[in-house]
Amino acid sequence: LSAQTEAPFYEEWWFLLVMALSSLILILLVVFALVLHGQSKKYKNCNGGKTISNVEESVTLDNGGFTALELNSRHLNI
| pLDDT, tens digit, 9 for 90 and up, residues 22-77 | 999 999 999 999 999 998 887 777 665 555 455 444 445 555 555 555 555 566 67
| Nearest-angstrom CA–CA distance, 7 and 19 | 17
> Which residue did the predictor score with more confidence, 5 or 33?
33
Asked if 9 and 15 touch (Cβ cutoff 8 Å), the reply is: yes
Question: What pTM value is reported for the model?
Answer: 0.47
Provide the 8-state DSSP code for 75. Answer: -
State residue 32's pLDDT score. Answer: 97
Residue 16, classified by CB atoms within 10 Å of its CB into exposed (0-12), middle (13-18) or buried (19+), is exposed
